[in-house]
Amino acid sequence: MEQVLAGIVERDPEQREFHQTVREFLISVRPVLEHHPEFRQLAVLERLAEPERMVIFRVPWMDDQGEVHVNRGYRVEMSSAIGPYKGGLRFHPSVNLSIIKFLAFEQVFKNSLTTMPLGGAKGGADFDPKGRSDTEVMRFCQAFMAELFRHIGEDTDVPAGDIGVGSREIGYLFGMYKKLQNKFTGVLTGKGLAWGGSLIRPEATGYGVVYFAAEMLALRGETVAGKRWLVSGSGNVAQFTVEKILHLGGTVLTMSDSSGHIYDEEGIDAAKLAFVKELKNVRRGRIGEYCERYPRAVHVPVDPTLDWNPLWRHQADGAVPAATQNEINNKDALHMVEGGVRLVCEGANMPSTPEAIGIFRDHNVLFGPSKAANAGGVAVSGLEMAQDSMRLSWSREEVDARLHAIIRNIHRTCLDAASTYGREGDYLAGANMASFIKVASAMLDQGLV
């Protein structure tokens, strides 16, 4: 395994996020390899860590002043072992090949856990939609799809949203794909309800994270109700995480964006959450505006001189990081433990550094890893694909019930795999091992391709 990792690092020495995710994965699946020597003999790990295909392309577009910009677009098709490639698109200035490869690698195993026939991919661009007009975003999406369209398709690769790609962007991307291909298909998920989308898809990731947290708590005879929660982010995942915590009777104290966080001692209730949704999804404002509307709350701007995030220092019982990767480091993790946090359930992808995860483990903090806990989003994307294929749509209750059942099943799968391989109660190891066995077995069945 050390050799495998050394080979990956040597080949792409600058891809730190990708190395981080592969390293964590390799450590977890060691017990599986001992029971399955055929996985080693047939170089399954080496094959899994090398994408089946990577596309990098130029995205030229014109802003409202007539100035031309050139961004870089990516699609990393990591594995099609168990289904067509599937995974979101991220538009954020930090996007690079390392980040897209790490996300695509995670996606392969997350999708396997959903029990749906979905391979893994991820894509995006180093484009920043913040401060751009709707027409600029539309032109960017059209330019992006003008290249991406030839690599995707409803049975080949089905992208969805991620950071910076919500329902507005999916609409523009879908419109351009349809025009170029002259086909109305389920090539993207997260579509509008009137044109092939699924009920509960916007809610799915956040709701699923809270369902997962509730399952973890139930094993300790506890519930979400009555607990105080720290949530980071204020985008899609954060908004619906807060909504479901409120449904289940919990209190949410914080939300954030890249400019800082707000702390509301009285709790973010349904009316305040509606304000955040309007602020973020319609007016596209900054989270600090929450305190102009609710002056008893406090806004804490980002302090670039700190190497820890004050959001994680508030006293609470549970935490859901729902912004971005590596947003909880070892200092943050220690602050959380000191502040009383007994459960961390990851809404974002890889938000906790390996050192932070070690601290949670040492302090017996229940830890729900992203590839299991946030799989509800892609699971309902899979349900959207099924509805598109049938030309039917299910009710809100039906999709929510299916989501809930899928999350319960993932939770059970993680625990069972962990206990089979002597890692009782370790959700991270269980998620990696269970998903790996399925993907690796499919690869062996299909030969060296």
Catalytic residues: 122
Give me the count of residues in the chain.
Answer: 449
- Under DSSP, the state recorded for 228 is E
Of residues 248 through 267, those in contact with ligand NDP by CB under 6 A are 257-259
Q: How far apart are CA 442 and CA 74, in angstroms?
A: 26
Rule CB under 6 A: say whether 234 interacts with ligand NDP: yes
Query: Exposure of 23 by Cβ count < 10 A (0-12 exposed, 13-18 middle, 19+ buried)?
Result: middle
**Residue 120 bridge partners (DSSP):** 79
Rule CB under 6 A: say whether 242 interacts with ligand NDP: no
Which of 155, 190, 210, 192 is CA-nearest to residue 383?
190
Q: How far apart are CA 94 and CA 90, in angstroms?
A: 10
Report the residue from 137, 323, 333, 417 that binds ligand NDP according to the rule CB under 6 A: 323
Of residues 415 through 444, those in contact with ligand NDP by CB under 6 A are none
Q: Residue 99: how many CB atoms within 10 A of its CB?
A: 26
Least gap, CB of 323 to ligand NDP (angstroms) = 3
Return the residue nearest ligand NDP (CB atom). 235
Binding map of ligand NDP across residues 324-343, x = CB under 6 A, - = no contact: x-------------------
Q: How far apart are CA 26 and CA 10, in angstroms?
A: 17
Is the separation of the CB atoms in 370 and 346 below 8 Å?
Answer: yes
Q: How far apart are CA 275 and CA 281, in angstroms?
A: 10
Report the residue from 320, 322, 415, 418 that binds ligand NDP according to the rule CB under 6 A: 322
Report the residue from 77, 136, 162, 243 that binds ligand NDP according to the rule CB under 6 A: 162
Rule CB under 6 A: say whether 171 interacts with ligand NDP: no
Q: How far apart are CA 321 and CA 238, in angstroms?
A: 8
Of residues 101 through 160, those in contact with ligand NDP by CB under 6 A are none
Q: How far apart are CA 316 and CA 313, in angstroms?
A: 9
Binding map of ligand NDP across residues 204-233, x = CB under 6 A, - = no contact: -x---------------------------x
Of residues 360 through 419, those in contact with ligand NDP by CB under 6 A are 374, 377
Instruction: Tell me how many residues contact ligand NDP (CB under 6 A).
Output: 24
Indicate the residue among 79 and 374 with the shorter CB distance to ligand NDP: 374
Indicate the residue among 51 and 347 with the shorter CB distance to ligand NDP: 347
Q: How far apart are CA 229 and CA 248, in angstroms?
A: 12
Residues that bind ligand NDP (CB under 6 A): 92, 161-164, 166, 205, 233-238, 257-259, 322-324, 347-349, 374, 377
